[in-house]
């Protein structure tokens, strides 16, 4: 999976502190333009993460990032949960979420750049999924983005029989 030098450096700085606090650093994303970039830090835990944990994490995440001096100009820091469309950023994510529906963007696979299907796991360096009714193997190193495809179940109103 492709990452930038900045993301690698910030991951290296934040991951140990997150782990020490019982949190998982899911991903760091840089979005927006050069004028005012947004640095998004996604955290989670086995029990999920609530707004109080996010608010608490904001202080130590900000301090570590400020020390790393990622930008020479202003930027916006967002600390949040990964949400229902959780990014898959580590090799282990592709075995942890077996059976889930995923969307993967990859370069150089059958002239397609996007795949959606059921995650089957990993075999060697390939991520395996079922998409379009067939088994697909995508080289991990060609993946530029992968996410769970979140499903919201509002529940269906059940008709009661008389």
**Domain of 109?**
93-148
b/e code 41-70 from CB counts within 10 Å (16+ = b): bbbbeeeebeeebbeebbeebeebbeeeeb
Residue 104: pLDDT band by 50, 70, 90 thresholds?
Answer: very high
For residue 33, CA distances in Å to 4, 38, 74, 75 come to: 15, 8, 11, 10
- Of the residues 54, 80, 106, which one is the last residue of a structural domain? 80
User: Does 55 map to a domain?
Assistant: yes
pLDDT (0 to 100) of residue 150: 81
**120 and 72, same structural domain?**
no
**129 and 75, same structural domain?**
no
Phi, psi of 61 (to 5 degrees): -65, -45
**54 and 16, same structural domain?**
yes
The pLDDT tens digits for 41-61 are 999 998 889 999 999 999 999
Domain count for the chain, please give it. 2
pLDDT (0 to 100) of residue 161: 45
């Amino acid at each position: 999976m492709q990452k930038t030098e900045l993301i690698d450096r910030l991951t290296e700085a934040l991951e140990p502190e997150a782990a020490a606090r019982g949190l998982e650093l899911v991903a760091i994303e840089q979005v927006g333009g050069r004028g005012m970039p947004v640095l998004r830090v996604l955290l989670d835990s086995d029990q999920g993460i609530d707004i109080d944990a996010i608010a608490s994490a904001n202080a130590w995440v900000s301090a570590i990032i400020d020390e790393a001096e990622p930008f020479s100009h202003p930027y916006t820091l967002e600390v949040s949960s990964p949400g229902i469309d959780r990014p898959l950023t580590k090799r282990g994510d592709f075995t942890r979420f077996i059976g889930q529906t995923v969307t993967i963007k990859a370069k150089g696979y059958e002239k397609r750049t996007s795949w959606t299907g059921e995650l089957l796991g990993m075999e060697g360096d390939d991520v395996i999924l079922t998409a379009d009714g067939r088994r697909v193997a995508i080289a991990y190193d060609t993946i530029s983005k992968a996410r769970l495809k979140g499903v919201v179940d509002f529940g269906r109103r059940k008709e009661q029989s008389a």
